[in-house]
Every structure is written in structure tokens, then in C-alpha cells.
Chain A
Amino acid sequence: MSLMELKDVSVTFDAEQRKGQKVRALVGLNLKIEPGEIVAVVGESGCGKTTLGKVLVDIYQPTEGQALYNGKDLRSLTKEEYRKYRLGVQMIHQDSYAALNPNRTIFQSLSLPLLQHKLVKNKDEAWGLLSELFEEIGLNPARLFLEKYPHQLSGGQRQRILLARALSVRPSLIVADEPVSMVDVSLRISLLDLMARANKKYGISFVYITHDLGTARYIAQHGRIAVMYLGRMVELNQIQAALDKPAHPYFHALIAAVPEADPTLRGGKIAQLPLKSFDMPSVINAPPGCKFHPRCPYANERCGTEEPKLREFRGGLVACHLVETI
């Protein structure tokens, strides 16, 4: 039984600007997350990866389909089971400043859930638990950080605090939504290392949502990668296999577009990306058939009318009619 499973999940919103129109942020998503594994979810803005993260933490509810925790539908959990789920699945936000209460000290913010859920008996115990946790993730001396307000700390420090907050309730799964994109580049790896350590030491699963393939590869070295496009999952595979031999044409283009710093690893310069058109269509007016076909250099008639389903290919899943021939 998987730790968490999304079964045919679709999430549809009302369009903000245009009344009456619907935005299908997520369509027919299937994903199983096992205990202790790391799954990277990649895609560009508007692909639905953030919505997926919010469905996992039950901030958005599926319009269709089910979200299951330990095999049971979230909507059918008893109060006590739901409480366990709440503590069991946590989230790390992208903007560490917005994710902390600006008018409370770090200790006040982080001790509140511990006290409310009775994970500690009193404030002293909360202090002790948090101090230990802070020292473990490299915020030494803990007292210095616990007494400060969010604006008095740097972005990297705040992001570590978000990780500590998530870890403090002993979760089984952490959804990290672009956790390092607002952190200085020289510090990103140290934060990813902390997450990898938490994964190894406590067996916590991670769903790492990002548009940066480099960091996705770093953290999900032995895990899987899911590629999203316009609300649909178009490829799912072990990460190294997927990066070495991308199956879906969109993923292929995405990899080609990633800049490589080291010139010796760059290979030949790409004169042109394997894409027919530049701009991504809006989620509201998604094209018929395969959502990618207007930009796909290989698209044929069938691609324009029939939406491909995810099917097995080379050990993973791909949603493309022509994947064998490319």
C-alpha cells in the first residue's frame, strides 16, 4: 500500500478574469508515492505542479478522483485519522518570508503547533525540542534563531526554519514547492543535502516540485521524476533513465533548453530548440488532442484530435502517440 496515492485526480477552478470559463489546472492525474522515496515533479509555470502539491496537503480538494492516504480517501477519514494525516503530510513553501508570521518570533510560530497538538507538554519542552532540531539542521546556536523575527534572518536561514518546522511534527511525507528557488545559489545544495539527510535518516518521503532540472536531479538521484504539461503528466520514470533518454518530445525540449555552466559538458551548441512554437498556450484554451501538439515538431493528424494516454515505455510511462518512432 502506498503512503499517498492520487487516483485520476482532476482539479478545476473558475477562471478569475473571465466569468463562466473553467481552468482545468490538473487533469486525470495518477501518482503513487511510496514511503521513503523522493519524487521530483517538474514543469513550467501553469503546468499544474503547484496544484498537485496543494492537493497532496489537502489545501485544494480534487474536483474528480480521489486522494488517498495509507489507502483511505481523505474525505472518508475519521477525525482522529485526519489529525494523523495532517501531521503526517507537511509542506515547505517557496517564499520563506511569506510562510512565516511576520509579527511573531520564530519560537512563537514554531511552538504553536507543538503545543496545540500536545506533542510537547509545555513551552520549556517545546524549546528543548526545537533547539535540538535547529542544531541538527545547522542553525547554531539555536537560541539566536528562535528569538528572532523572520525579517531579521536571511533567506537561507528562513528556509532551513521552514524545513525544521515541517520536521518538528514527525511527518511521513514532505511536499517541497520550489524550496530553493529564492535561496542564494551557493547555499542551495546545503539545503537539498538536509532534505536528503532527513529522507535517509527518518525515512520521510519527499515530493520535490521545481522547474529547475539541475536541482531536481541532485535531490532525486535515486528517485523518480514526473514531467507535467498543461495539467497533465506526460512522462514518469526513474530520474537518470529519463534524463539520459527522454521519451516525450516536450521533455526532450526542456532538457535541451537547460543552460549548462561548464563549457566542457555542454556538447554542441544547440542552434534551435526542437519546438515549433515559442509560447505555451494558456490553460483556459488548451488545444484539442495532445496538449503539446501545436509545438511538437513530430505531431501528426492523430495528435491533433486524440489525447494520448499514459502508457508503458522503456520502464516508465509516457503520454505520446509517436514515442516509438522519435
Chain B
Amino acid sequence: MTKPILEIKNLSVDFVLHDRKLRACDDVSLTINRGEIVGIIGESGSGKTTLASGILNLIKAPGRIAAGEVIYHTREGKSVDLRKLKEDEFAKYRWTNLTSVFQAAQNVLNPSLRVKEHFLETVRAHDPKAKESDVLTKARELLSQVRLEERVLDCYPHQLSGGMKQRTIIALSLILNPDIIFLDEPTTALDVITQWYIIDILKKIQKEFGLTMVFLTHDVSIIGSVVDRLAVMYAGQVVEFGPVMDLFKRPTHPYTAGLMNAIPSLRDDVTHRKAIPGHPPDLMALPDACRFSPRCAHFASGVCAGDRAKTDMLYASRPEQLTRCYSWEKVFKP
């Protein structure tokens, strides 16, 4: 039984610099179901981080949300448009319902507070009367879930390694029993072995707490083993969305296909790998054509005309797959 937990409808985020407008997110629509893990893949300029910031109401000037709704369906069945909330109303939802974990390099931890004080502060911001012993018991539990020892509670952030900080932030984000957790490049700055463990921990936690996870990254290799459904973003738009295995094995957008083909791994046939030619477009000077067309081999060979108007919507390519490529039938084998 799939019930939606978050419905993003036509979200657009603009940045205004010196009277020129840059649309970082263009008319993005996604539905995330309760209990699933959704991945969002995108490279630089794709708009995925802006999307996460937009959902969590973290966009600051000169950026602003130009249009769209973000409807959150709570456990109790209420539906709230997060866009319409004022900052202090939204703050109530942050940490209790929606939490976020960003890249380890971005230090969310206050360097002058011990870890246990972080937990206490976070809980007390929402429930001033919470008892210290209760909070710390829960904190200890969570730390053991992320394979950290109790002694970490008494440490300052600078005494922890990158991997330990990341695990602490994950535990911290769970202290108020959130519904949905956003992870933006949670393992990018970490070593391969640490990365493996953190992904393992995230999967276990997700199962145990029935969390909904939104996993944003540019790393194609890890996302395959973690997520249920995957959204691929390019130049501010969602270009493909569907079950992750289908996207891997039978992509229906040239960018998705190109991406899968461009990553060298340990066991593949090295001679088959090919980079996607060209580079991401300048969002302030978009061509009046399909945004991917300058780099698309099918556009270059004339199979597709790259008509911009036709790329303003998504098409159902397979039973549960959506693509922005209107020529997908010509380009991809059924």
C-alpha cells in the first residue's frame, strides 16, 4: 500500500543576480511514497541541492521560490502545504518530521558544544520540558545504531573523524522520530570503507524505523544499491524518474543512458566506457531547444529535432517510468 508522504508540484526556484534571473529548479514535480527510498541523481548545475533546500525552506536571498507547492502528508493523515508556512511554523516540522543530513564537510555541528549538548539542545528546542536522562538514553541508543561508542557523547566535534561526525549527525537527525530524512551527498567526502559502513547503517535504520529517505548524490555507483526509485536531474529539470533497476537496465533518456555508461568501475569492460561530450549548459543562457540536445548523439544524428516545447512535460515510457525525452521510442529499444 503506497501512500504518498511528500508531493512536490511544479516547484521552481530562482536566483536573481544583478537583474539577471537564473532558474535553478524548473517546474519540478515528484511524488515520494511513505517508507520508500528515493534517489535524486544530478551533477553540477542539475538543481538537486536547490530542490532539497527548497523543500526544507532553506532558500535564502538572492534565491527565492518562484512557484509550486510542497504538500506533506503527516502520519495522522493531515496535509500541509509547506510552502505556505511561515518560518516559525515550519520550524516545528523541522527535526520532528523532516530532517536533513548534509555532506560531512559542511559542519552542522557547533564546535563549542559537546555531542550530548547537541542532542539536548535539539530536543529542548521542540520540547522545553524534556528530561535530560530520557534524551541521553535515547541518544545512546541511536549512537549504538550508528556504531558509535557512548563516549562520543562527551566529545567535541573536532575530536571526531569525518566518518564519526557524519554518523553523529545521522543519529542526531533521528532523535525526534522524524518521518522523512533528506541526505545530500552524505558520503561524498568520506573514504570508501567508511562509505560502505554508512550506507549499510542507513539501510538498516531505514528498515528498522520505517523511515522515508530522499538520497541526493552525483555518485551513480552507490545509489544503485540503496534506493527504490530514482529521479535523474539535468539543468534544473527532472529528466527521468522510475524504479532504479529499470533506469539502469532500460533507461529511456539519453542523459541517463550516458551517465550509466560514463562511470568506470572495477569489473566492467573498460573499452565500453564513454564520457558524455560537451558540458552542462549555462542556466542563464539556455538554448531554445531541449536542454540536453547540445550533448545528445541522437540530436546530432538527426533522429530527434530537440524541440523545446515538447520537452516541457514528462512522458510515461514504461509502466512506472517517466521521461522527458519525447523521442524515447525512436531512440531506445522497447
Contact = CB atoms under 8 A, between A and B. Distances in A.
Interface string B212-236: 0000001111111100000000000
A215 B161 CA distance: 26
B10 to A, nearest CB: 27
Contacts of B220: 185, 261
Interface of A: 44-45, 154-157, 184-190, 192-193, 211-215, 217-218, 221, 243, 253-263, 265-266, 269, 273, 275, 278-280
B268 interface: yes
Interface residues of B, number: 44
A228 to B, nearest CB: 12
A184 B43 contact: yes
Contact of A263 (B164, B196, B248, B275): B248
B196 A214 contact: no
Contact of B279 (A45, A157, A193, A278): A157
A184 B280 contact: yes
Contact of B264 (A214, A266, A280): A214
A186 B259 contact: yes
A188 B264 CA distance: 9
Interface of B: 43-44, 147, 161-164, 191-197, 199, 218-225, 245, 248-249, 258-260, 262-268, 270, 273-277, 279-280
A263 B192 contact: no
B220 to A, nearest CB: 5
A256 B266 CA distance: 10
A262 B193 contact: no
Contacts of B194: 44, 278-279
Contacts of B221: 214, 258-261
A46 to B, nearest CB: 9
Contact of B225 (A212, A243, A259): A259
B192 A279 contact: no
| Chain A to chain B: the 5 pairs with minimum beta-carbon distance, closest first | A190-B275, A44-B191, A218-B264, A257-B196, A189-B275
Contacts of B163: 278-279
Contacts of B264: 188-189, 192, 214-215, 217-218
15 contacts: A44-B192, A44-B194, A155-B44, A185-B262, A189-B274, A190-B277, A211-B191, A217-B270, A218-B264, A253-B193, A260-B267, A263-B245, A263-B249, A265-B267, A278-B163
A273 B248 contact: no
A213 B263 contact: no
Nearest to A275: B193
B63 to A, nearest CB: 19
A256 to B, nearest CB: 8
A265 B43 contact: no
Given A154-B280, A155-B44, A266-B225, A254 B266 contact: no
Nearest to A269: B225
B248 A189 contact: no
Nearest to B162: A45
Contacts of B262: 185-189
